[in-house]
Amino acid sequence: MFVIERRAERSALFRFVSPALAVLTALVCGALFLKVSGFDPLAVYGGMWRGAFGDAYGLSETIVKAIPIALCALGIAVAFRMNLWNIGAEGQLYAGAAAAAWVALSFPGAPAAFVLPAMTAAGMSAGALWALLAAVPRAWVGANEILTTLMLNYTAVFLSEYLIHGPWKDPAGFNFPLSPAFSEAARLPAFGDTRIHAGLIFALAAAAALTVALRKTKWGYELRLVGASPAVATYAGVGIARHVLVAMAVGGALAGLAGMTEVSAITGRLQYGLSPGYGYSAIIVAWLAKLSPAGILAMAFLFGGLLVGGYAVQFIGVPAAAVNMLQGAMLFFWLAAEFLGRYRVALRGRPREVR
Amino acid sequence: MEMDAVTALLAAAVGAGTPLLYAALGEILCERSGVLNLGVEGMMLVGAVCGFLAAVETKSPGAGVAAAMLAGGALAAVHAFMTVTLRVNQIISGLALALFGTGVSSYLGKHLIGVPLPVTPGPLPIPGLADLPVVGAVLFSRDPLVYASYLLVPTAWFWIHRTRPGLHLRAVGEDPATADAAGVNVYRVRYAGILAGGMLAGLGGAYLSLFYAPCWVENMTAGRGWIALALVIFAVWSPLRALAGAWLFGGIEALGFRIQVLGAVVSPFFLKMLPYLFTIAVLVFFTAWNRRRRIGAPEALGLPYERE
Amino acid sequence: MQPPLVEMRGIRKAFPGVVANDGASLELRAGEVHALLGENGAGKTTLMNVLAGLYRPDAGEVLIGGRAVEIRSPGRAIALGIGMVHQRFKLVPGFTVAENVTLGMKEPRFVFHPRSIEDSIGAFARDRGLPVDPRARIRQLSVGEQQRVEIVKALWRGAGILIMDEPTAVLTPREVRELFGVMNRMAAEGKAVVFITHKLSEVMEIADRVTVMRHGRRAATVEKAGTSPVELATLMMGRGHKAPACDVHAGQPGPVVLEALDLEAEGDRGERALRGLTLEIRAGEILGIAGVAGNGQRELAEAIAGLRRVTAGSIRVGGTDVTNAGPARAIDAGVGYIPEDRLGTGLAAGMSVAENLIMKAYRGAELSTGPFLRRGRTVEWSRRLAERFRIKTPSLDTPVSSLSGGNAQRVLLARETASRPKLIVAAHPTRGLDVAATDHIRAILREQRRAGSAVLLISGDLDEIMALSDRIAVLYEGEILGTFPCAGADLERIGLMMGGVRTSGPAREGTTVPSCMRRHGRLRTK
């Protein structure tokens, strides 16, 4: 008979092993799934690997995809730390992108020294505001932030579609739903001739700042306290509502920043399909990284690679959705691995019969 | 608006509300057992694609519905194993399920885009009732799954409030330790609640792809799974109120289309936002309302149960 | 000779770190009220949980009617006719009485008609002297009524052996008398009633036989008729029992620290929990609140700590008005609070000892500069506190959840007293602790008094109140019915007041007059 027992201390080994185990198990299950669907798993994974990490171009593209994922994940991880479920990075990204585009389109002749900081500020503020639309009702009446942030995701996408179909439509765009292209000054500089852009510096800086803030400040301590127990935090005189607002706003600002970097550095205009679900991948990345900023950078790199690799194998007929499936499966296996860190499964005989 | 337009709007409200109703009823059964399943969107999508796939392969809508329920149940089983047996965080597991289900449905549906359904099940008017003015067209000239939802609502209510399994379901959701001490198998009841929820979500998905659309489009649920979750809060975990809520939400969705048809000057994108904004408004209002009247979720909702 | 109805032999049950039962035994006869007497931690409840199927013993055997049985689950115990009324009731709060009574039973098979079940349960309960409304929801019932529901539930399941775990702790004296009536009646019907207690007077009043437990095993089983309270006390303690005595305090109380005036507040369910409560405490004084649980103790403590809104009245601490000012301002005004629910409110179980120790002090200049915590200082701060309060922990980074109850409580007291608060609100500070930890916690509270803090002590244990307090206030239904100096306090009168009897005699010196009486003009202060 199997019994499940709680471990006295969390297994230290599993702290590091569980994300790796989750990724590997998901890949193995994915391989079975591919096999069943008639693909050669090794060829597919090989193709993904070569596409994402095999050459300088693949690597640079992987980093390009990792930037928005990392920014979104860093932001939502702050909220996750206090058991606040900001699922709205996707919408906050779109809000930030739209606001940044508004600045770029409003000041076509302005120099980069003005327009780039203004776009950054606008993107971050819009993302934060979009998040506050969910945070305020949460702090005020306790309205479930999972549902409100999700609803706001759909709303933000429709809002940006409205803008590119309507008021911001490019008159020279042959009726395509696109905004006019930004001026050169509104484009974030890239490194060398890659597409890797200054957003990488934003992500690294955000990770560093959050690491310090979470470990060394009163705010970080209070965040942990609220996450551990809202009742205890209240008892200790820590205002929960304020922390809800701040944590959501920080997440929104970073997701908004991701939106700004996408329109400014990658597309150069507001258009359809800005994000292939960066905000959703970020949720998985945040958990697999155990909410640690450094871990998020690493996991975002891996997930960027998954996306790029996924595009690479579309040529041999593997649907891009295979990557989404893999990502979801990783989260499941991470959960299961975490369970093994907290509990042990033991094989036990029945307790001896009482005579 | 003239009478015909009103009838058409009401009929469209019932049609758009039916998938929401199935998903919400399923989630009510699940949450009454004390388990939150945020994966409704994923289960609906997988239900929709599997139902469509099975209906295309077998040329039988019935087989499609059965396959959708099986698929939804299978995804729910993963959630049940995670949350009940492994006692992991229900929110994370549910989110994982939503993301995973979305991926699986796109993967499976890759080759179904644009494929027509071999048999389109038409409406099945109920003789006599279908001829009544307005209600006849709105309620009694529908397809079998709409009729089934009429029956499911009172059945679910009766099950929850007037049967022994229902008593056990409520007890496990309110106070699993007490239920356990009284000899109720908490794990079994929770598994049953989650599986029932998954099957009904799958059924809701199948209604979309087999009857409402009828076709397969990637991400065709468009957030209906999440709206169903909000609907459960609106309904205060009661099947009867879920019916009213589902038709109301369906009405808002239908209204968006109608206004467009009527040639209003509002941008179609704002009309598309309507159900989502309405959901937020309803959610905020009813959360405040329920809280003030001190009624709310099953007490043990979201908490894993572990015997001391 | 007929075998006893129940026989438990050599029961051993160990939990991580504690052996609760170590070779315990017990015999029950049909038709008796059998008291199970012992101090806290003697293993009474564990032994009965074994009989009720909640715990499986590590060793030993249970015989029912002479036949060995294995009681694997509560369900099995019920089938054997064993019912138990736990200290924490096992009732679903949102369910009706009838739903709770039928929960988990094989009948009704599938469909049930609430009306007919309610009627039969109502009649069943009335017939047994346990009147209760079968349609009422549990959360609307008083604690005494909930206990009745538990008894009805056990009897409805056909219990022939009824175990009651400290049933009188939550009852008013009148309810206790009614309960004893019901117990006698059940014994007269041939049932065996086990009555767990640590109160000698109750044993002498109700029991037929007494089993005294000490250190996890039986010390003796005696006939009530052939014993005396002194003998029982000796058996229980292992040596002479010392009657509770007032802790005579030499120092003069200082200025008024806490001034609560005409407080009104609602409980969690919207009921009026505090009704015009007025009290004051001076520096260097411990005021004990005597009262049956659920008369507003928790709401009073939370109102003072800033965690519950008061709807009327005012609270001043050290001259500062903190009425509805919130927990942060209460802390700043010098309120330390040891809540009843240690691991739910007072300590973040998943966080480390060090993180819990700085919880009230991290904002101060000593531990932080600007937005930053000073890591070295916080480590030093918590190391010093852990040493001074003898907190036994593997390290300061150990989560509080893995400490013993006594050490967790030391963490709480260390933190709450570290900043020399003007006022300490201590709710049930020693509940569930072993003797050594209890002594230590009490010593800390006395030390605080010596240092000039005012202490509001809330406890369900009158002995504890007598042992620590300078003055005793009786709380009943959200009002203070009277305040007495501890020395020479009239226990009988306090007991009556705890049951809601308003004495009409003249107030003694030092008595604050309850506002209700002042309103009615029945009493005048000198």
Please give the structure tokens belonging to residue A42.
Answer: 């090794």
**Chain A contacts of C61, Cβ < 8 Å?**
354-355
* Nearest residue of chain B to residue C84 (CA atoms): B181
Q: What is the pLDDT of residue A17?
A: 77
- Which DSSP state fits A336? H
Apex CA C316: angle with CA C314 and CA C320, to 5°? Answer: 125
Taking the Cβ of residue A213 and every Cβ of chain B, the question of whether any pair is shorter than 8 Å is answered with: no
Ranges of chain B with pLDDT below 50: 1
- Residue by residue, pLDDT tens for chain A (355 residues) are 456 666 655 566 666 777 888 888 889 988 998 888 888 989 999 999 999 998 999 999 999 999 999 999 999 999 999 999 999 999 999 999 999 999 999 999 889 999 999 999 999 999 999 999 999 999 989 899 999 999 999 999 999 999 999 889 888 878 888 899 999 999 998 888 889 999 999 999 999 999 999 999 999 999 999 999 999 999 999 999 999 999 999 999 999 999 999 999 999 999 988 998 999 999 999 998 989 999 999 999 999 999 999 988 888 888 888 888 888 888 888 888 888 777 766 655 444 333 3
Q: What is the pLDDT of residue C257?
A: 95
A 220-279 near B (Cβ less than 8 A): none
pLDDT digits (tens, 9 = 90+) for C288-318: 998 877 789 999 999 999 999 999 999 999 9
- 10-residue mean pLDDT series, chain C (526 residues): 86 82 92 87 88 91 92 87 90 92 81 87 91 90 89 92 88 84 93 87 90 89 87 72 54 87 88 91 93 86 95 94 94 93 89 93 88 91 93 90 88 92 94 82 92 92 86 91 84 74 51 37 32
Please check whether residue C235 is in contact with residue C218, taking contact to mean a CB–CB distance below 8 angstroms: no
> Within a domain: residue A29?
no
> Within a domain: residue A46?
no
> Within a domain: residue B295?
no
> Within a domain: residue B300?
no
> Within a domain: residue B299?
no
Q: What is the pLDDT of residue C526?
A: 29
Taking the Cβ of residue B182 and every Cβ of chain C, the question of whether any pair is shorter than 8 Å is answered with: yes
> Within a domain: residue A163?
yes
3-state secondary structure of C306: coil
Helix axes A56-81, A199-216, angle to 10 degrees: 30
Q: What is the pLDDT of residue C510?
A: 40
DSSP A206-235: HHHHHHHHHHHBHHHHHHHHHHH-HHHHHH
Alpha carbon distance A125, A120 (integer Å):
8
> Within a domain: residue B308?
no
* A332 vs B96, B273, B287: nearest CB: B96
Taking the Cβ of residue B185 and every Cβ of chain C, the question of whether any pair is shorter than 8 Å is answered with: no
Taking the Cβ of residue B290 and every Cβ of chain A, the question of whether any pair is shorter than 8 Å is answered with: no
* C350 vs A219, A228, A354: nearest CB: A228
* A166 vs B267, B279, B283: nearest CB: B267
> Within a domain: residue B70?
yes
Q: Number of structural domains, chain A?
A: 1
Residue C315, Cβ neighbours under 10 Å: how many?
Answer: 23
**Chain A contacts of B226, Cβ < 8 Å?**
147, 150-151
Measured CA distances, C196 to C189, C200, C214, C239, C438 (Å): 20, 11, 13, 21, 21
3-state secondary structure of C309: coil
* A235 vs C68, C339, C363: nearest CB: C339
Q: What is the pLDDT of residue A192?
A: 83
Q: Mark yes or no for CB contact A321/B279 under 8 Å.
A: no
Residue with tokens 């009425």: C323
Distance from CA of B83 to the nearest CA of C (A): 20
CATH number of the domain within which A69 lies: 1.10.3470
Q: Mark yes or no for CB contact A158/B269 under 8 Å.
A: yes
Apex CA A86: angle with CA A85 and CA A88, to 5°? Answer: 145
> Within a domain: residue B7?
yes
Q: Mark yes or no for CB contact A355/C68 under 8 Å.
A: yes
Please give the structure tokens belonging to residue B123.
Answer: 């409406």
pLDDT digits (tens, 9 = 90+) for C455-465: 999 987 778 88
Q: Mark yes or no for CB contact C104/B168 under 8 Å.
A: yes
> Domain limits at A90?
55-317
- Which DSSP state fits B105? H
* C99 vs B167, B183, B294: nearest CB: B167
List the C18-28 sheet strands across, edge first: C18-28, C6-15, C59-64, C67-69
Please check whether residue A97 is in contact with residue A161, taking contact to mean a CB–CB distance below 8 angstroms: no
Q: What is the pLDDT of residue C516?
A: 34
Apex CA B94: angle with CA B91 and CA B100, to 5°? Answer: 140
CATH number of the domain within which B61 lies: 1.10.3470
Q: Mark yes or no for CB contact A325/B87 under 8 Å.
A: no
pTM of the model: 0.85
Q: What residues form DSSP beta bridges with C457? A: C288, C426
* H runs (alpha helix) in chain A: 12-36, 41-53, 56-81, 89-106, 112-141, 145-165, 199-216, 218-228, 230-235, 240-261, 278-288, 293-313, 321-342
> Within a domain: residue B145?
yes
Q: What residues form DSSP beta bridges with C210? A: C35, C222
Among C103, C110, C115, C150, the residue to mutate for chain B (most B Cβ within 10 A): C103
> Within a domain: residue A93?
yes
> Within a domain: residue B60?
yes
Alpha carbon distance C173, C171 (integer Å):
6
Domains and CATH numbers, chain C: 6-237 (3.40.50.300), 249-334+421-486 (3.40.50.300), 348-418 (no CATH)
pLDDT digits (tens, 9 = 90+) for C343-388: 889 999 889 999 999 999 998 888 998 899 998 899 999 999 999 9
> Domain limits at B254?
2-290
**ipTM computed for the complex:** 0.87
> Within a domain: residue A41?
no
3-state secondary structure of A238: coil
Distance from CA of B94 to the nearest CA of A (A): 10
* Amino acid sitting at position C406: G
3-state secondary structure of B235: coil
Q: What is the pLDDT of residue C518?
A: 35
pLDDT digits (tens, 9 = 90+) for C402-452: 888 889 999 999 999 988 899 999 999 988 777 788 889 999 999 999 999
Share of chain C above pLDDT 70, in %: 91
